[in-house]
């Protein structure tokens, strides 16, 4: 008698806590029984980080005393917040843990140094599996780096699978702490063909704007870009910021807080030799994000007619306006919400999709994007 193993659930959870260090975004999605097509998003949740955890994660971005122990304790705290997000998703979808196949979790990036052969996403996936009783897939970036890649960005393949169009070339811009673009040529929109799909990190997204307003006003972000809108762009400072060699590097390339931080900004301010008001600096940082994204699109996708934005930057009205202006007002710039996915859910959904790709033993990276020697199955499994 042949015993047929029961099919695993095709409902998976994706969890994302990004460079902005604001909290955990989670989604619960149902996939097609035989593939990685997303049939429905069943629930979404957000769990903010308490200020002490946020500050500790920020401090771990740089070398400091006793950082090994401090990182381990932060990882445990993160796992508890991830588990809280899982519980909220299950409650909202009215599902039990046994009805969920996998949790795909990115972890919190504290170092990203692909040029040295490593990236570090703080996490305790074993504890998360223990807390939520669901198999966990984590550590998605390391396999790509082991194959000579940047380990980032990982979202272009996912963007192609859910946002690709058979008749229209598109660019998807993710503006989290760091900004990245996915170039999606017209073609198959079912994820079966990734031909021509390309992408890379363009530079700072919200990271500098958030850090500057936190430094001056104690707020975590510039809501709608209102503070920046009350200032003026300082041309000399903007030129100094654009002098950063990263902007001129050819892809593949990726970045993070290891490069773009307040000391980097301070060095640029010193080179200008001018006294600049805090609000004008905020306006200039907002312009830098918009212009660096636009320059990347113009250089690598000059004929695109549609740009769709996800991540926290999609909620910044001034940034969206400046991006459209930097593109010469010739390209429509809209939120991914018009394509059916809320901008704050896209990255979490991507890690549910990457977990599904891991389950099917399908590659999650695109060598043309990351520079890896070939396609690789990404992630590591922590059984419940």
- Asked, for residue 6, whether it belongs to a domain, the answer is no
Q: Same structural domain for residues 202 and 247?
A: yes
| Per-residue model confidence (pLDDT) at position 64 | 87
Quote the pLDDT of residue 312.
Answer: 94
Which residue, 179, 159, 153, 162, is CA-closest to 171? 159
pLDDT of residue 173: 98
* Domain identity same for 278 and 189: yes
Q: Are residues 44 and 82 in the same domain?
A: yes
15, 117: one domain = yes
Q: Is residue 5, in this structure, part of any structural domain at all?
A: no
pLDDT value, residue 7 = 58
pLDDT digits (tens, 9 = 90+) for 167-203: 989 999 999 999 999 999 987 544 445 668 999 999 9
Domain that residue 361 falls in: 11-151+345-382
Are 138 and 174 within one domain? Answer: no
Do residue 189 and residue 335 come from a single domain? yes
**Shared domain check, 377 and 328:** no
Q: Domain check: are 174 and 71 in the same one?
A: no
Predicted structure pTM score: 0.93
Whether 178 and 204 map to the same domain: the answer is yes
Answer yes or no: is 260 within a domain: yes
Instruction: Specify whether 97 is located in the same domain as 172.
Output: no
> Could you tell me the CATH number of the domain that includes residue 92?
3.30.420.40
**52 and 144 share one domain:** yes
Task: Count the domains in the chain.
Answer: 2
**Assigned domain for 16 exists:** yes
Asked whether residue 93 is assigned to any structural domain, the reply reads yes
Say what the pLDDT of residue 378 is.
98
pLDDT tens for the chain, 384 residues long, are: 554 444 567 999 999 998 888 899 999 999 999 899 999 999 999 999 999 999 999 999 888 899 999 999 999 999 999 999 999 999 999 999 999 999 999 999 999 999 999 999 999 999 999 999 999 999 999 999 999 999 999 999 999 999 999 898 999 999 999 999 999 998 754 444 566 899 999 999 999 999 999 999 999 999 999 999 999 999 999 999 999 999 999 999 999 999 999 999 999 999 999 999 999 999 999 999 999 999 999 999 998 989 999 999 999 999 999 999 999 988 999 999 999 999 999 999 999 999 999 999 999 999 999 999 999 999 999 999
| The pLDDT of residue 193 | 52
CB 107 within 8 A of CB 56: no
Residues 44 and 130 in one domain: yes
Within a domain: residue 65? yes
Question: Is 221 part of any domain?
Answer: yes
Whether 4 is in a domain gets the answer: no
């Amino acid at each position: 008698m042949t015993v047929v193993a029961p099919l695993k659930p095709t409902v998976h959870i994706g969890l994302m806590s990004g460079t902005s260090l604001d909290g955990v975004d989670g989604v619960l999605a149902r996939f097609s029984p035989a593939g990685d097509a997303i049939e429905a998003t069943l629930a979404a949740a957000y769990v903010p980080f308490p200020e002490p955890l946020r500050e500790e994660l920020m401090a771990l971005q740089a070398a400091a005393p006793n950082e090994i122990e401090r990182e381990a304790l932060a990882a445990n705290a993160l796992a508890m917040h991830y588990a809280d997000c899982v519980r909220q998703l299950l409650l909202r979808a009215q599902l039990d843990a046994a009805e969920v196949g996998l949790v795909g979790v990115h972890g919190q990036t504290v170092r990203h140094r692909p040029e040295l052969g490593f990236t570090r996403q703080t996490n305790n996936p074993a504890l998360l599996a223990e807390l939520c009783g669901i198999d966990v897939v984590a550590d998605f970036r390391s396999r790509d780096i082991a194959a000579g890649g940047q380990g980032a960005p990982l979202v272009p393949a996912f963007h192609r699978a859910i946002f690709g169009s058979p008749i229209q070339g598109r660019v998807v811009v993710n503006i989290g702490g760091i900004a990245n673009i996915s170039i999606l040529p017209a073609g198959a929109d079912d994820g079966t063909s990734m031909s021509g799909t390309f992408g890379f990190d363009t530079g700072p997204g919200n990271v500098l704007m958030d850090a500057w307003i936190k430094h001056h006003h104690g707020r975590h972000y510039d809501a709608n870009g209102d503070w920046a809108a009350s200032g003026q762009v300082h041309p000399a400072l903007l030129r100094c910021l654009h002098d950063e060699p990263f902007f001129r590097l050819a892809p593949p390339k990726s970045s993070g807080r290891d490069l773009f931080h307040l000391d980097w900004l301070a060095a640029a301010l010193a080179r200008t030799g001018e006294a600049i008001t805090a609000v004008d600096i905020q306006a200039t940082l907002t312009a830098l994000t918009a212009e660096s994204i636009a320059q990347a699109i113009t250089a690598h996708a000059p004929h695109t007619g549609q740009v769709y934005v996800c991540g926290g930057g999609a909620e910044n009205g001034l940034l969206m306006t400046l991006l459209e202006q930097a593109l010469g007002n010739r390209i429509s710039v809209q939120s991914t919400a018009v394509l059916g996915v809320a901008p704050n859910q896209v990255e979490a959904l991507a890690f549910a999709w990457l977990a599904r790709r891991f389950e099917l033993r399908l590659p999650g990276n695109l060598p043309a994007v990351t520079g890896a020697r070939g396609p690789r199955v990404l992630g590591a499994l922590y059984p419940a």
